[in-house]
Homo-oligomer: A and B are copies of this chain.
Amino acid sequence: MAAPSSLPHQLLNPATCRCTPEARKGMVHTQALFRGASASTLADLDFLMRARSLRAGEAVTPTALTQPVFGLVVRGTVKVERWITLDEVAILEVLGPGDLFLHGDSPEGPVLYRASDRLTAMTTTCVLTMPCDELNPLLARDPVLGPRISWQLVRRLSQTEDRMSRLMVETAEHRLAYLLMYLTTKGTTRPKAPGLIPFNVTRKDLAALAGITLETASRILSAWEKREWLRSGRGWIEIRDAGALRQLGSVT
């Protein structure tokens, strides 16, 4: 409700994107996921991967996927939504810079997200994508790529199981506090507003992430705002007392 020092919407949704053709040139080479890969692998990836710049709300992959896509978030943030029932959507995951994804249904071979899931940019975002089945030859040839991907997958799986265990038992307030802290690790913080969660987050998003209703999310956030733990508005949240939230969200 309180007006922040500078307009959050401009900070969260910059019109300019630095994904110029020149910047795209070195993009593959600067990704941590590909660090240590051989020159030929990097050249292949550079050839195969397509860079896309997205604005907030845009879909990362087309609605009708013909084949599975392997992708990597370079800048910005992406949410993964899934219809749980006919009228209810849950957010499975929030992908930040450096996070990989596999999207689409494959007859053989596993994928992370189904073709029916929606991947949507939550702010001005840049992603690299390529056909999933082009990846296997690269993995077979480059001994560094596989372990790098495995590492990230282990980290993601570990994080997800931790998140799940908290969502299972804790109260709505604890879940929300944990999730806010989780969200701050996704996306790149804006230097002008350090506490601001650096992408668009509505009450509905928080509810879909925490498995609660948006009314409950609104009530809890209002209570925290009274205690001056945070400030928020339409689609943005600025954390002012991370310590208090972290304490509430963690166990002990």
Contacts and interface: CB of A to CB of B under 8 A. Distances in A.
Interface of A: 82, 84-85, 88, 90, 92-93, 102, 109-113, 136, 139-141, 143-147, 149-151, 153-158, 160-161, 163-170, 210-211, 251
- What DSSP secondary structure best describes chain A's contact surface? helix
Nearest to A145: B146
B251 A85 contact: yes
Contact of A161 (B139, B143, B160, B166): B160
A102 B151 CA distance: 11
Nearest to A136: B147
The 4 closest A-B pairs by CB, nearest first: A146-B146, A168-B211, A153-B153, A164-B164
A165 B90 contact: yes
How many identical chains are in the complex?
A: 2
Contact of A110 (B88, B109, B113, B155): B155
Contact of A150 (B84, B90, B113, B146): B146
Contact of A158 (B112, B147, B154, B166): B112
Contacts of A140: 143-144, 147
A152 to B, nearest CB: 8
B110 A151 contact: yes
Given A82-B165, A110-B154, A150-B150, 11 more contacts: A85-B169, A85-B251, A90-B165, A92-B164, A112-B157, A113-B158, A140-B147, A143-B143, A146-B147, A156-B157, A160-B161
A161 to B, nearest CB: 5
